[in-house]
């Protein structure tokens, strides 16, 4: 069971990492630069503005056309002519970066690709890591929370698997109960039967829809299986970074951790038995016998 839980945990972590990985080819550093400039330009000038429209040239413009447009726009955006504009230096620097990309044939080809197909929303883990650069503590906390969430999910998976296993034993035992029973009598649902466990037939007794007793051998104690006794997973018991400090606290203080109340087979059997109520004793009466229909019947006679 532990190996199964470990394999499920690793599978979930692998699936999460696969989802978080980019679904397309890995972006290069030049692509990251284009992404940043596109975001800055759209934020500053509007979402319908691109490199070519900002320079007032067509996408098929030649290098000489781009240079002439750059000289014209640089004179307009120069910080010396826009001293009252606090964003003048930022715009002038952005203009130089955009023209540098359009002057480079390889970088311009990459920009034309994103210009026609659109800039991707998901830009890869490398892009976001290089922009936000989380520290070691942030990475450790993220991985710890991710692994804890995976553990919690595995706990619920195991919980439902145990319930299905018990339900399967009950269904198999009831199927074996119907063998040799006439259809007119109806299919029995409770009683002694047998199930196969690991390829071995074992005697069992179906107590209810969710409760079955399996007799492994004559010398060993029977195994009670009840879905009501399966402990549901909880954050305090199934997530290691929460359960470990709690268990350490109880060990250091010497206190006993609160254990979940589990119903034992003996208490369940006692609950199934009808409760006997004491009858109230009435006044003493004299009893005489009278024979009715072949049986002696007691008749109360009032005392004087």
Which residues lie across from 225 on neighbouring strands? Answer: 212
**Residues 93, 41 contacting (CB under 8 angstroms):** no
pLDDT at position 90: 93
Q: How many CA atoms lie within 13 A of 132 on its CB side?
A: 11
CA-based max dimension of the chain: 135
pLDDT in tens, 165-218: 999 999 999 988 888 777 777 778 899 998 988 888 899 999 999 999 999 877
Containing 167, the helix (H) or strand (E) segment is helix 136-177
How far does the chain reach from its first CA to its final CA, in angstroms? 78
d(CA 203, CA 298): 47
Model confidence over 229-272: pLDDT tens digits?
A: 998 998 888 888 888 888 888 888 888 777 655 555 555 454 44
Q: What pLDDT sits at residue 263? A: 52
d(CA 144, CA 135): 14
DSSP H or E stretch at residue 135: none
pLDDT of residue 138: 81
DSSP 71-84: HHHHHHH-GGG-TT
Structure confidence at residue 78 as a pLDDT band (50, 70, 90): very high
CB within 8 Å of 239: residues ≥ 6 apart:
148, 149, 151, 152
Cα distances (Å, whole numbers) of residue 285 to 79, 295, 298: 120, 21, 11
80 alpha carbon, distance to own chain's centre: 58
Contact (Cβ atoms closer than 8 angstroms) between residue 163 and residue 230: yes
């Amino acid at each position: 069971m532990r190996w199964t839980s470990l394999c499920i945990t690793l599978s979930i972590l692998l699936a999460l990492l696969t989802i978080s990985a980019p679904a397309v080819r890995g972006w290069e550093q030049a692509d990251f630069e284009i992404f940043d400039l596109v975001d800055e330009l759209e934020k500053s000038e509007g979402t319908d503005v691109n490199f070519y429209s900002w320079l007032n040239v067509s996408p098929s413009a030649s290098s000489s056309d781009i240079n002439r447009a750059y000289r014209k726009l640089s004179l307009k955006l120069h910080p010396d002519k826009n001293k009252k504009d606090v964003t003048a230096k930022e715009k002038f620097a952005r203009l130089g970066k955009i023209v540098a990309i359009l002057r480079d044939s390889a970088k311009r080809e990459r920009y034309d690709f994103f210009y026609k197909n659109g800039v991707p929303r998901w830009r890869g883990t490398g892009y976001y890591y290089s922009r936000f650069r989380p520290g070691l503590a942030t990475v450790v906390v993220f991985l710890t929370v991710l692994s804890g969430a995976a553990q919690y999910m595995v706990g619920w998976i195991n919980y439902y698997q145990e319930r299905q296993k018990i339900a399967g034993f009950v269904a198999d035992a009831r199927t074996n109960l119907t063998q040799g029973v006439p259809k007119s009598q109806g299919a029995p649902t409770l009683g002694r039967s047998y199930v196969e466990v690991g390829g071995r037939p074992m005697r069992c007794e179906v107590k209810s829809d969710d409760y079955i007793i399996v007799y492994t051998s004559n010398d060993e104690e029977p195994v009670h299986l009840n879905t009501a006794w399966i402990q549901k997973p909880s954050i305090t018991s199934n997530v290691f970074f929460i359960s470990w400090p709690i268990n350490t606290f109880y060990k250091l203080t010497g206190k006993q951790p609160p254990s979940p109340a589990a119903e034992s087979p003996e208490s369940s059997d006692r609950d199934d038995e009808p409760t006997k109520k004491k009858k109230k004793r009435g006044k003493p009466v004299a009893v005489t016998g009278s024979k009715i229909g072949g049986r002696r019947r007691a008749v109360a006679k009032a005392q004087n």
